[in-house]
């Protein structure tokens, strides 16, 4: 299909598609002469992925480029693959977390995973909260980890084992980008329900 048809199929304007091509978020079409290129279903799928990462995941253009680069050259191991997914989804943050936080994660029995993207992300989030005057107790952290294990149980599905590395990576990235907002919204709904239970009788 022509670029105008790719625009129709995806709902993304031609100037934006040209921007994605220039920025390396979208692979070039097959050249059909100096001013024409041919696009296919893989381009449609890639444009949809880029839109989801930008609109829902609020990833920067640089992060989206990292995602598509990883998708084009996925690691072979299922487990390394998840590390790659976690790494591209991680908000860039200032410097390595202090040793004390990592020791605390390990002491709690949370998997340290030897500096994996996930454990680094956790250590950085804990440090940021503590620096801002909001320390999180060991009891809360342990309880939250149990809760998030229940959430993750629906994420790490057996079907992943049968997927190609590129498909499994796509699944892990898109699954997290699309469902993190659902998980956070459920936290808010649960806060509201508990607040109603605990405080509403006194207020009214």
Which residues in 123-152 contact a copy of itself (CB under 8 A)? 124-126, 128-129, 132-134, 136, 140-141, 143-152
* Residue 37 or 75 having the CB closest to a copy of itself: 75
Least distance from a copy of itself to the Cβ atom of residue 8, Å: 18
Q: 140 vs 91, 100, 144, 145, CA distance in Å? A: 23, 18, 6, 8
Among 52, 61, 104, 167, which residue sits at the site for a copy of itself (rule: CB under 8 A)? 52
Per CB under 8 A, contacts with a copy of itself among 53-82 are 55-56, 58, 77-79, 82
Among 86, 88, 102, 173, which residue sits at the site for a copy of itself (rule: CB under 8 A)? 86
Least distance from a copy of itself to the Cβ atom of residue 109, Å: 11
Q: Does 13 bind a copy of itself (CB under 8 A)?
A: no
Cβ neighbours of residue 171 closer than 8 Å, sequence gap 6 or more: 160, 163
For 97, phi then psi, to 5°, come to: -70, 155
Q: Using CA atoms, how far apart are residues 138 and 54, in angstroms rounded to an integer?
A: 35
Q: Using CA atoms, how far apart are residues 58 and 55, in angstroms rounded to an integer?
A: 5
Q: Does 48 bind a copy of itself (CB under 8 A)?
A: yes
Size of residue set near a copy of itself by CB under 8 A:
78
Token readout for 33 is 């002469």
∠ CA(30), CA(32), CA(33), 5° rounding?
130
Is 158 exposed, middle or buried, given 0-12, 13-18 or 19+ CB atoms closer than 10 A?
exposed
Q: Does 104 bind a copy of itself (CB under 8 A)?
A: no
Token readout for 5 is 């048809």
CB 124, CB 93: distance < 8 Å:
yes
* Residue 103 or 148 having the CB closest to a copy of itself: 148
* Residue 2 or 117 having the CB closest to a copy of itself: 117
Per CB under 8 A, contacts with a copy of itself among 143-202 are 143-156, 158, 160-161, 172, 174-176, 178-196, 198-200, 202
């Amino acid at each position: 299909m022509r670029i105008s048809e790719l625009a129709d199929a995806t709902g993304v304007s031609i100037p934006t598609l040209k921007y994605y091509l220039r920025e390396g978020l979208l692979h070039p079409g097959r050249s059909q002469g100096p001013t024409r290129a041919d696009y296919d279903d893989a381009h449609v799928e890639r444009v949809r992925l880029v839109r989801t990462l930008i609109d829902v995941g609020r990833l920067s253009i640089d992060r989206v480029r990292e995602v598509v680069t990883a998708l084009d050259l996925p690691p072979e191991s299922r487990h390394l693959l998840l590390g790659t997914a976690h790494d591209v989804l991680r908000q860039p943050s200032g410097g390595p977390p202090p040793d004390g936080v990592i020791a605390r994660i390990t002491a709690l029995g949370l998997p340290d995973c030897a500096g994996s993207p996930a454990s680094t992300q956790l250590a950085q989030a804990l440090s940021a909260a503590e620096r801002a005057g909001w320390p999180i107790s060991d009891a809360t952290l342990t309880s939250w980890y149990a809760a998030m294990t229940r959430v993750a149980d629906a994420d790490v599905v057996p079907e992943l084992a049968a997927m190609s590395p590129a498909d499994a990576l796509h699944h892990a990235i898109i699954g997290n980008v699309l469902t993190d907002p659902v998980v956070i919204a459920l936290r808010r709904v649960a806060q509201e329900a508990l607040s109603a239970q605990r405080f509403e009788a006194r207020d009214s």
